[in-house]
Amino acid sequence: MRALRWFSGLFVAFAVAGCPTLPTPVPCGEIPPGGCPIGRGGTCDDRACAGLFDCVDGRWTSVETCAVVDGGAGGSPQEDAGTCTPVGIDTQGKVTGCTPDLQEPDCPVEAAETCAEVACTTGCADFFLCTKDGWAQVAFCDDDGLIVVVQ
């Protein structure tokens, strides 16, 4: 009985204290050209990564500059590969303020607006556009790691 009173008192103490309020994450938007997000598995082993970045307080912060494999005279690894096909996603009707926030591996459309060859190397699996009706899926990464636009 004594243990039950102690446990009840402990429960009341936690209930009164409540849970701490966590800060609201601030999205960084489009990553710098040739950049890979370190928080989503970016690595310099990926030829498409000219540098690794971390999203800190709504800004991309350089963490590491990647050495160019098979060095050459300048250019990023993506430029050395010779291709950068823009991802054609129609963002007409885009608004801000959609809730709830997306959870990994879901990402906002901005994460897909890179080169089609590297859009699926960010750790994102599905890409969404914030519309007046809420989140709408606009693209996804297929099993081969290629971006597929669904609009």
Let me know: does 33 contact 119? Beta carbons within 8 Å: no
Residues in the chain: 151
pLDDT digit string, tens, across residues 45-77: 887 788 888 887 778 877 888 875 443 334 444
If we measure between CA atoms, which residue out of 41, 34, 110 comes closest to residue 78?
34
pLDDT at 17: 55
pLDDT confidence band for 126 (50 / 70 / 90) = very high
Burial readout 102-115 (b: 16 or more C-beta within 10 A, e: otherwise): beeebbbbbbbbbb
User: Quick check: 19 pLDDT over 80?
Assistant: no
Mean pLDDT, range 80-101, rounded to an integer: 81
In the chain, where the domains are located: 22-149
Question: Which is higher by pLDDT, 59 or 136?
Answer: 136
Radius of gyration of the chain (CA): 21
